[in-house]
Structure 1
């Protein structure tokens, strides 16, 4: 929505050469459900919504989003009658819309695009055509930065955000359906010479359109990456940790240790799974929680051993972190570390 400042642009260009960052993972984990909800309501690809949110808010860390819950840089315009904040963007002290919650911002973003004639052509695109949407948004004037489409596409493809565009086709399990048009063949008996292993006439049964076959164990995501310098993969909800261990030739006990878990089981959410031991500290000093979450979730998102995160913050590993709460990702001057296990 805005022309990005030079400093932000440099950061984004630097991002191009890096793997997913923990802050981006935290943002995606927090808002992916909202993006999917809005996709089902409005037809805007969830991947595009998430990529725009990541870009406009600097993965939830920008001053504007902290003060206004405005995730998409939408300015007041003459039609806006709600609350607002002043923020310097293309010009000093411009008027930006302010929302009570992130959900309001996501909903207004959909309404903003749906309600404007200049964006109407985008809704004729396929729901999974994120590249068409990225270039179309620039063409319609959503942003002035000439690199805006490439930035969105890079965010989408690096973070595999396009998977969220498929949720209506893949609601959790994977449905595999045979082709719709199949020829009908009447039963035919082949009275050919029987082999010793086939003494019964072969019958070619009438072919009918099959019912979709549901695969109960979704495949692991193929893409691997690094978080905080540690090898990791991004596993679907319902994936077995034993399957991950087997596929990556890692003893199950080791995989559980790497991920601060005591028992095997199916993942109850899409999450990062580490294939090596996590680091003792993060790559930044402080994280302000984007949502109500557990300290364990923070440890996984930032690639930090849970026991150290507990010591840095003097709270239990099962403690819930409130939205906006400050979490130390590195030791402070007052941190007393116990012996590593």
Structure 2
């Protein structure tokens, strides 16, 4: 009996660690996807990037909630009498409540800023130090943004666990993006996170010997979506034919969708799209990480390589320098700097 009890205790602890790892991975993916929007909105309106990201994570379950998937509403903002845009019906405090619907996440992020900035109830928040995230979290609850009495605690914990204050510092010009690249936004507690056993950092090579790559992003199991495109995260050694058959995609199309040479098995752990990627990215731009190739970026952002090259006036063999901004939705104002071996 003791052996059976011990087995179940170990099994439960193992399951808890796995679930925590999956949750942390999804949250980190959300941060990576929307951090630039949060920074831009802080610079535009003064809403702290740390607060905006924490609210987005909480309100959408890190981008996985039913509401955000059917409305792009990242902040749970209800219609109110002055809303003239599209809406969706969703059960919240009552059944079938009216929530705002947006064409894209960017519209939700902007409307959230405007909602706070132009509402007298939240005027006191903008008198606070923008780095006072505790004051903002408590002020939002006091002003009636949320009914959950633990709302400030949740927001503060997210900010501190995932180092979201860094993005407010970047928006204020008090911190460089490269400082985040060195440390990442890995949870600050000691729990195991997805990908923790993989190599955390590798030298940046010819770009900058002092710069390090970010740890690999953790993706959900099974099918999910990036930029509204169906994708899985395949393990090294998985036969391509098995993926094609499992997701009912012709094998030739699978190679075409992922702009890859024909191989029998995946040569590394990687994203595998099971439908054609988009001509525009979900985000406005992508900040190049050390070691990233143009195809890596194309896969990460779910944008077809041909359009990524066209927008940024690049050739497939080129390698942009770490820290450069690649545009994903239209022509870049200038050609990005290349890694040293390309620019010589």
Give the structure-1-normalised TM-score.
0.57
- 1:220 matched to which residue of 2? 182
Equivalent position of 2:196 in the other structure: 230
Tell me which residue corresponds to 1:288: 225
The CA distance in 2 between the partners of 1:48 and 1:71, in whole Å, is 13
Consecutive unaligned residues in structure 1, runs of 5 or more: 1-13, 174-215, 236-240, 244-262, 326-341
- Determine helix, strand or coil for the equivalent of 2:183: coil
Once the two structures are superposed, residues 271-317 of structure 1 have per-residue CA deviations (whole angstroms, 9 ceiling, x without a partner) of 7416xxx9xx9663232225789x8xx86xxxx75665977465446
**1:311-322 → structure 2 map (5 Å cutoff):** 312=243, 314=254, 315=258, 316=260, 318=295, 320=298
For residues 235-276 of structure 1, the C-alpha deviation after alignment (integer angstroms, 9 at most, x for no partner) is 7xxxxx338xxxxxxxxxxxxxxxxxxx67559x997416xx
* 1:57/1:65 contact within 8 Å kept: yes
Larger radius of gyration: 1
Q: 1:98-144, CA deviations, whole angstroms, 9 ceiling, x for partnerless residues?
A: 11111111110001001111110000111111111111100111000
Larger % of helix: which?
A: 2
Q: CA RMSD in A?
A: 3.9
Q: Are residue 85 (structure 1) and residue 88 (structure 2) matched?
A: yes
Deviation at 1:21, TM superposition (A): 1.7
Confirm whether residue 162 of structure 1 aligns to residue 104 of structure 2: no
* Matching of residue 242 in structure 1 with residue 224 in structure 2: no
| 1:222–1:61 distance in 2 versus 1, CA, 3 Å | closer
Higher strand proportion, which one? 1
SS for the counterpart of 1:109 is helix
Contact 2:182 2:213 in 1 (8 A): no
1:181-215 CA-partner distances (Å, limit 9, x unpaired): xxxxxxxxxxxxxxxxxxxxxxxxxxxxxxxxxxx
Give 2:149's match in structure 1, choosing from 142, 146, 151. Answer: 146
Q: Which residue of 1 aligns with 2:66?
A: 63
Aligned length: 232
8 Å Cα contact 1:224/1:233 also seen in 2: no
Where 1:227 maps in the other structure, the secondary structure is coil
2:212 & 2:89 partners in 1: Cα distance?
Answer: 37
Stretches of structure 2 lacking an aligned partner (at least 5 in a row)? 1-15, 245-253, 261-269, 271-294, 304-344
> Which of the residues 273, 284, 294 maps onto 2:215?
273
Query: Structure 2 length as normaliser, TM-score?
Result: 0.57
